[in-house]
Amino acid sequence: MSIDQAAGGTAPPTSSTVVALSGGVGGAKLVLGLAGVVDPSTLTVIANTGDDFDHLGLRVCPDIDTLVYTLSGLSNPDQGWGRAGETDHVMEVARTLGEETWFFLGDKDLAMHITRSRRLAVGESLTSITLDICERLGVDSRILPMSNDFVSTLVETADGVLPFQHYFVRDRCEPLVKGFRFDGAETAIANPQVLNALSDNRLRAVVVAPSNPFISIDPILAVSEIRSTLDGTPAPVVAVSPIVGGDSIKGPTAKMMRELKIDVSPVEVARRYADFLDGFVLDVVDAQLAPQIEAFGIPVQTANTVMDSLEDRVMLARVVLEFSDALSRRAGDNSVTE
């Protein structure tokens, strides 16, 4: 957001919209909180699709599905991914038929991959399929893939280059990470609905969820038009730290940082996002790090960012949006005095 763009910004207009950038499990928690704080129909979620892959002949889009299941109340609360009350009959038979079953697709979840694969094969876009599935499952928010084109995260490891799910699930994130590649991102066309959402004049806030920066947020930013549109958003861009007390809240972010020889600190996450960030939300336990982030010119808000309960998610979402509103007001005030 530029200061001029924020000029005149006072209270958010009643018809305001919110955009979140999210990966899977960790990001979906905050997205659920946001959907509880704003009118869900005004919330747009830009989903990472770098984790997508073909498995057992089906197109699997784990982050989209985690968001859909979370917002529809169908998700498995213990895992955070997949559906509650799953059975494994198909997987059991697939195993006896010699199929690779290291990536678990529950019987109910399989219907998602079957319908998506069939519809993709006849030329429907991933966006259209996802929005239709959202409607059918009672999700009022818009979940948008970053692109309709296939982008594939590759993990450069000491054991060679691995497709993301082979690294993440099959090899349990054990190989030492040396870097990441987002195959197809350079030529991928940004989802036009994503670009529209990010430039909408009614935009109140852009929230970068506490997802893994390397494998969840970077693939979205690797789609160049999304990255450049973020620079000109008419609302503050606020990120929530995925690192709390020197560790990741969920998943391998901290392990990856160690292996990439990056300090396991929210300061390093803020540094990665500094070019497009207007505000950073830091956990209360890391409050002493605020001056280091503010030194990048990024205002900081502390909050309880560990989202164990639904109340935690809603509370954090509220803090993030109020922080963003305060940044809008501050930018508006500055433009008057400058």
Positions that interact with ligand FO1 (CB under 6 A) = 23-25, 51, 60, 62-63, 65-66, 81-82, 103-105, 109, 165, 168-169
Q: Identify which of residues 12 and 27 has a Cβ nearer to ligand FO1 in the complex.
A: 27
What DSSP character marks residue 36?
H
Give yes or no for a contact between 142 and 44, defined as CB atoms under 8 angstroms apart: yes
Q: Identify which of residues 109 and 218 has a Cβ nearer to ligand FO1 in the complex.
A: 109
Q: How far is the CB of 335 from ligand FO1 (least distance, A)?
A: 39
In terms of DSSP bridges, do strands 152-157 and 177-183 run parallel, antiparallel, or are they unpaired?
antiparallel
Which residue has 């300090």 as its token pair? 263
Integer Cα distance of 213 and 237 in angstroms:
15
Start-to-end CA distance of the chain, whole Å, equals 16
In terms of DSSP bridges, do strands 203-208 and 177-183 run parallel, antiparallel, or are they unpaired?
unpaired
Q: Identify which of residues 60 and 238 has a Cβ nearer to ligand FO1 in the complex.
A: 60
Q: Identify which of residues 76 and 335 has a Cβ nearer to ligand FO1 in the complex.
A: 76
Q: How far is the CB of 163 from ligand FO1 (least distance, A)?
A: 11
Integer Cα distance of 16 and 198 in angstroms:
12
Q: Which amino acid is located at 52 in the chain?
A: D
- Please spell the DSSP secondary structure of 145-168, one letter per residue: ESBSS--EEEEEETTEEEEHHIII
Q: Identify which of residues 74 and 277 has a Cβ nearer to ligand FO1 in the complex.
A: 74
Q: Identify which of residues 105 and 267 has a Cβ nearer to ligand FO1 in the complex.
A: 105
Integer Cα distance of 77 and 197 in angstroms:
29
Q: How far is the CB of 274 from ligand FO1 (least distance, A)?
A: 24
- Number of other residues whose CB lies within 10 A of the CB of residue 179: 13
Q: Identify which of residues 82 and 210 has a Cβ nearer to ligand FO1 in the complex.
A: 82
Three-state SS across 65-121? HHHHHHHHCCECCCCCCCECCCCCHHHHHHHHCCCCCCCCCCHHHHHHHHHHHHHHH
Q: Which residue number is nearest to ligand FO1 in terms of Cβ?
A: 24
Q: How far is the CB of 102 from ligand FO1 (least distance, A)?
A: 7
Q: How far is the CB of 88 from ligand FO1 (least distance, A)?
A: 11
Q: How far is the CB of 321 from ligand FO1 (least distance, A)?
A: 24
Q: How far is the CB of 11 from ligand FO1 (least distance, A)?
A: 35
Judge residue 102's burial from the number of C-beta atoms within 10 Å of its C-beta, 0-12 exposed, 13-18 middle, 19 or more buried: exposed
In terms of DSSP bridges, do strands 53-55 and 58-60 run parallel, antiparallel, or are they unpaired?
antiparallel
Q: Which amino acid is located at 64 in the chain?
A: I
Q: Identify which of residues 41 and 79 has a Cβ nearer to ligand FO1 in the complex.
A: 79
In terms of DSSP bridges, do strands 17-22 and 43-47 run parallel, antiparallel, or are they unpaired?
parallel
Q: How far is the CB of 104 from ligand FO1 (least distance, A)?
A: 3
What DSSP character marks residue 190?
B
Q: Which amino acid is located at 20 in the chain?
A: A
Q: Identify which of residues 88 and 333 has a Cβ nearer to ligand FO1 in the complex.
A: 88
Q: How far is the CB of 118 from ligand FO1 (least distance, A)?
A: 17
